[in-house]
Homo-oligomer: A and B are copies of this chain.
Amino acid sequence: MPPGPRQRLISAAIELVRERGVEGAGLTDLLERSSSARRSIYQHFPGGKLELIETSTRAAGEWMRRAIRQFGAAMDTSTLLAETIRQIAASLVSSDYRLGCPIAAAAAVSADAAGVREAAAAVFAGWVEEIEAMLVREGRTQDEAHSLAGFLVSAVEGAMLCARATRSTEPLDQAVEHLTRLLRGRSS
């Protein structure tokens, strides 16, 4: 059974925000891409565009968190990191560097869209939680794991940003190189 308008709107919103950011994502394009009626937005998201984007941000974040958990059960953190970055690089290249991270775009929103920014913050916190648990399972202390997990998330986000700007996977390659070294060298 095909996805209803609500799901189509969320998917289109994620893609559009990845391409053009929150402010740049217009309703007209959104409706065209999702093949939805204008009214469907306000039927499912009474708060309008910002509520849709907030929901989309949390949905995209939750999807990623599940992926971290799923693959994290089958490999160690440094392998998961390398694999994740490899996927990111592939998606950047295959989209000709048009698609960035939807959470990063939501995080960069202006102050008057507090809900969207808070959604991004919650997603980041969830990712950190997930990776932190992996690191603890691998024998690290709670504090060590928390700090390292937070750094991994922000470093990967930064590498994505720079990769998109320079239209090159080099920042991502550098990130996997140095973060792997950081993960392997258990000095602390």
A residues neighboring B (CB under 8 Å) = 19-24, 96-98, 100, 103-111, 117, 120-121, 124-125, 147-148, 150-151, 153-167, 170-171, 174-175, 177-178, 181-182, 185, 187-188
Q: Is the CB of B161 within 8 A of A104?
A: yes
Bound-complex Cα distance A187 to B187 (A) = 12
Bound-complex Cα distance A155 to B117 (A) = 20
Bound-complex Cα distance A50 to B175 (A) = 31
Bound-complex Cα distance A163 to B104 (A) = 11
Pick from B22, B98, B181: contact of A182, CB under 8 Å: B181
Shortest beta-carbon distance, A147 to chain B, in Å?
5
Which partner residue on chain B sits nearest A155 by CB separation? Answer: B155
A to B CB contacts below 8 Å, 17 in the list: A19-B110, A21-B108, A97-B111, A107-B165, A108-B161, A121-B165, A121-B167, A147-B174, A151-B171, A151-B177, A154-B158, A154-B174, A155-B155, A157-B162, A158-B161, A181-B182, A181-B188
Pick from B111, B121, B158, B181: contact of A156, CB under 8 Å: B158
Q: Is the CB of A124 within 8 A of B165?
A: yes
> Cβ of A97: which chain B residues have Cβ within 8 Å of it?
111
Which partner residue on chain B sits nearest A103 by CB separation? Answer: B165
Q: Is the CB of A164 within 8 A of B107?
A: yes
Q: Is the CB of B162 within 8 A of A150?
A: yes
Which partner residue on chain B sits nearest A163 by CB separation? Answer: B154
> Cβ of A155: which chain B residues have Cβ within 8 Å of it?
151, 154-155, 158-159, 175
